[in-house]
Amino acid sequence: MMHLKIYSNFLITAQIFIHYNRLIIVVYYPVDWEKTVKKECKRRRYSDRTAQTYIYCINKFLDYCKKDLGKISKKDVREFLEKMSDKGLSGNSMNTYHMAIRFLFEQVLDKRMWIDIKYSKVPKKLPIVLSKSEVKTLIENIKNHKHKIMISLMYSAGLRVSELLNLKVEDFNFKESFGFVRQGKGMKDRLFIIADKLKIVLLQMCVGKKKEDLVFASNRGQKYSSRTIQEIIKKTAKLAGINKKIHPHTLRHSFATHLIENGYSVSEVQALLGHKSPETTMIYLHTSSSRMLNIKSPLDSL
């Protein structure tokens, strides 16, 4: 019995024996595949949520197959996905299961299993957006000062939750009224605009901190969780009487829609959102009615 180390950063065990003068190696995959998936996701800088989702989906698949990793075939994958489809899973869910299984075999186990299955179509739905008056009411109903600034910045710059929570003092250029999103979705850097209404208060929050310090930290000096931001928006929306199913990303949708309404071009909004394709940004053309105005953060026109 011997151990072999492969480049995917985990150990496999191989039993070597001779049969009819031929060297035969039987490979056994690692028992703790979950740990390996987490490590590979971390190496690729995927979010913890993505890793957890992949592990959940893979566990569902393995429970269905009831086979060792080395004995699973493309037929097993196809049958599992077909079963999930028969249960009425949405296109998004089907795609997530598909990607998780492919990630396990192709990226983690280095097993070139090409799964020739077309991804399920995801129904195209227009995003839920808030009107400008609803955004204003939402922000006004946030009692905690720091929380109010965080939510205002998310909307005013079109930031994702993770981008907001990862902001550091060095990411702001107050003189030029812009900031940097470092290693955002798709590992891309991009600029974001700082609304005039927020510049002074953000500058005050950065005073006395080191350049590598987080701009927003809890009273214990720890990083906020995405769940905290979700709860802030959910509770405030209820308090403000906003009868829409909203979440943090709704502010990003609203930011983009309001920019289109204010006369921005699709290419300008695309750059601010960090979208790879203009087609992704064009959906906001359907949630707005254009009006030509000089470019400015939508927060400054509330």
Q: What is the pLDDT of residues 130-177, one digit of tens each?
A: 999 999 999 999 999 999 999 999 999 999 999 999 999 999 999 888
The span from the CA of 225 to the CA of 300, in Å, is 28
**Position with higher pLDDT, 18 vs 180:** 180
Active site residue 284: yes
Out of 148, 253, 258, 275, pick the active-site residue. Answer: 275
- pLDDT for res 164: 94
Greatest mean pLDDT among 17-26, 219-228, 258-267, 270-279 lies in 219-228
Active site residue 249: yes
- pLDDT for res 280: 64
- pLDDT for res 116: 62
Out of 160, 168, 253, 258, pick the active-site residue. Answer: 160
Fold of 2-108: DNA polymerase; domain 1 (1.10.150)
Please write the tens of the pLDDT for every residue from 198-234: 999 999 999 999 999 999 988 888 899 999 999 999 9
Active site residue 49: no
Fold of 132-301: hpI Integrase; Chain A (1.10.443)
Write the DSSP string, 88-141.
T--HHHHHHHHHHHHIIIIIIS--------PPPPPP--PPP---HHHHHHHHHT
Place of tokens 């971390």: 42
Out of 147, 148, 168, 252, pick the active-site residue. Answer: 252
**Position with higher pLDDT, 91 vs 82:** 82
Across the strands, what pairs with 28?
13
Out of 155, 224, 264, 284, pick the active-site residue. Answer: 284
Out of 38, 102, 182, 185, pick the active-site residue. Answer: 185
Q: How far is CA 23 from the centre of its chain?
A: 47
The span from the CA of 120 to the CA of 194, in Å, is 39
Mean pLDDT on 261-274 = 77
Nearest C-alpha neighbor of 229 from the set 142, 130, 128, 134: 142
CA-to-CA dists, residue 14 to 1, 30, 39, 165, angstroms: 6, 11, 22, 44
Any idea where the domains of the chain sit in the sequence? 2-108, 132-301
Out of 39, 146, 209, 249, pick the active-site residue. Answer: 249
The span from the CA of 182 to the CA of 93, in Å, is 29
Active site residue 97: no
Active site residue 43: no
**Position with higher pLDDT, 50 vs 156:** 156
Active site residue 252: yes
The span from the CA of 138 to the CA of 236, in Å, is 6
Mean pLDDT on 12-28 = 46
Mean pLDDT on 69-98 = 82
Please write the tens of the pLDDT for every residue from 173-194: 998 888 888 865 655 678 888 9
